[in-house]
Chains A and B, each alone.
Chain A
Amino acid sequence: MITHPFTYQAPTTIEEAVRALGGAGEAKVIAGGHSLLPLMKLGLAQPEMLVDLRRIASLGEIRTEADGTIAIGALATHRVITHDQTVRAKLTALAEAAGEVGDLQVRARGTIGGSLAHADPAADEPAPTIAFDATIRAVGPKGQRDIRARDYFKGTFETALAANEILVEIRFPAQPARTGSAYAKFAHPASRFAVTGVAAVVTIKSDGSVERAALGVTGAAAAAYRATEAERALTGTKGDAKAIAAAAAKAADGITALSDLVASSEYRKHLVTVYARRAIERAIERARA
C-alpha cells in the first residue's frame, strides 16, 4: 500500500516530461513501475510527483540506423526485447538477459530504460549493455547527451544520470562479423535477480582465434562491471577450452563481491568464474557458427 500522497503527470513529448521533472518538489520518472512502485509501497521512495513516460510513443521503438547502430527506446519492455528478431540475431546476449528478467509479468511491463535508470546491482540488462559498449542517451533541460555505458554505472542504484535527466534510448553499436554473444545467469531462487549474470561478446578471426572479447558482469558487485583481466586473457588465444577456463578464472579478479543469504562473497566470486566460462563458451560457439 502506498501511504504518502503524490501527483501524477503523463506528458506526450520528451520536452514536456523534462519540464515536468524539473518542476517543484521531488519528482520521479515512471515507466513499467516494477522497480519504483515496490519502493513506494515500502515507503523507501516517497516522490511528490510521478512523471509517466508511457504516452511518449517514440520511446518504445527498436530501430536499426544506417551505420548498423541498434537504438532501443527506453520504454521497450523486456518481453519485446526478448522476442525482437534484430536483437536476437545481432545482440543475442541482450535478448537472453531480457528473457531472464524476473518473471513473465515483470517482463511484460518492465522496461530496459527503467532497469538501467534504477541500476539495481543485480539487474540483468546492465551486463550486456556494458559488454556491447552501448551508449546511454539522456535528455535534460540543457538538451541531449550520450554517456558511455562503462561510465554510466556508478554504484548501487547510482548512475551518471542527473536528477533532471530522462534516459530515452540505449544505443548499441554495430558488431563486427564473426561476433557471438551469450548471457549466462545464476538466478536468486526467490527474486530471480542475478546472483551472477555474465554477458560475453566475442569476435573471432577467420582462423578461429579470439580477436576481441568483452565480458559484462552483473549481480556480483555494487555495480555491473567489465571483467577486463579476463577479456585480456582471452584475446589472442585460440579460444579453446583451456584458454576459456583460464580467462574465466579471472572474471572476478579485484572485485568486492556482494554477500547475502543465497551466496557469500566467496561463493559469488566462484559463480562469476563458472558463469563467465559458460557465457564465453556459448559466445564463441555462436561466433563460429
Chain B
Amino acid sequence: MRKLVTSVLAGIGLTLACGTSVYAQEKSLTIFWAEWDPANYLQELGNEYEKETGVKINVETTPWSDFQTKAFTEFNAHGDAYDLVVGDSQWLGAGSTGGHYVDLTDFFKKHDLGNVMAPATVKYYAEYPGNSGKYWAIPLEGDAVGWSYRKDWFEDPKEKEAFKAKYGYDLDVPKDFKALRDIAEFFYRPDQKRYGIAIYTDNSYDAMAMGFENALFSYGGDLGDYSTYKVDGHINSEKAVAALDAYKELYKFTPPGWAKSFFVEDNQAITENLAAMSMNFFAFFPSLINEASNPNAKNTGFFANPPGPDGDQFAALGGQGISVVSYSQKQDEAMKFLEWFIKDETQKKWAALGGYTCSAAVLKSPEFQSATPYNKAFYETMFKVKDFWAVPEYAELLQQLNQRVYPYMIGGSGTAKETLDALAGDWNATFKKYGRGQ
C-alpha cells in the first residue's frame, strides 16, 4: 500500500513538474540567425527583455555557410522551430511570396517605421516588391561593405616618400578606385610576404557578388532595372565592364591562394599582417579593434568604399531585418517583442551592445558616431547602399553570376564584356522562366 501511495505521489509530482516546464516553454521565443558576434549581442539584448517581461529569448545560430539552407528547409517544411528569423535582405521575395513571413505592413504603418528607420534599410530589409508599400521585416542589423587598412603601413614616412615618388600624389586613405588600385599595387611585395589588398572571391554564396557590386555601383553601373527586370544595357554596360575589369585588377594584388575568400579570410589579412587594405562588412569590424582578436588593433583604420572614376560612390548592402515566421505558434508574443525592439531606448541599448542599429535617430546621434573608429564610416555608407536582386529566385541569379564571373576573375578566361554579356543572357532567361517583366 505504501508503495502505491509513493508511486502515486511521485506520479503527481512528475505531472506537475512537466506541467510547469510546459508553461515555462510557452513564455519563450526562438530567434534564428547566423553564427556571428551580432547574434551574441542580440542574445544579450534578449536577456534584458527577459528581465523586463519574463519571456525568455533564445537566439539560435548556425554557421553562415548553411544559414540559408537551414532556414529554408525549416520554412519549406512549415516547421515552427523558429518564431522569428533574422533573414538576409535577398530572402524577402522568397519569404513573402512563399508565405513564410507574416505581413508586417500594418505594424509598420502603426509605428511609422518608414520614418523611424534609415530609408535605405526600410527599402532593402523590409519592403517587397520594391515600392509596393508592403513590409515583411523590421530592419534589425544594418550592414554594408567597408574597408579596413593598416594605419602604420600608410603612415610610415619612408613608404609615404616612396609612394609619392612612384605615383605623384600622397599616400593616404584612397580617394577613388584608382588610388585603391595604386595602393594595392604599391604594397604588393611577395618577397616580404606582404600583399596589397584582400577582397571577396568565394563563389559559394554571395561573397563574389558583394565584392563585385562595390566596384560596379561606384563605377555608376547597376545590376538591372528592379521594376522592369531589364538587364541588357545595365549589367553589361560599358561602366559595368570597366567595373569588372577594375575588380579583377585588384585580384592581382591579393595574398596567394585568395580564390575562396570571404569575411573570415579578409579579417585574417589584417590580423596576420598579410594585406595593407581589406574589404569586409562593417559587422566584422568590432573584432578588428579588439586587441584580443587583432594584434594590430591599434594600427587598424577604416574607410568607406571609395568613389569610381565619375565620382559615384555606393557600397554593397549586407544586413538583415527580423521577420515573424508564419508557422510560429507564438506570433502574438513575437509581435510584442518587436514592439519592444523598435523603442528608442532599446535601439540605443542595441547600438551600445555592438549591434548596428537602423534607427535614424540613433545613427545621427553624435554619441553613436564617435563610439567606435568605424561608426562614422558606417553612418555615411548606410545612406548610399544598393543591394542584389531580392526576387524569390535570387539564388539562381547568384549562382549564374558566380558561374560567369568566377572563371573570368580567378581563371582569367574570356573578357569582361563576354562575361557580362553571357550573364545578361542567363538572367534574361531566368526572368523569362518566371514570367517577370516580359
Chain B associates with chain A: no
- Which B residues are closer than 8 A to A by beta carbons? none
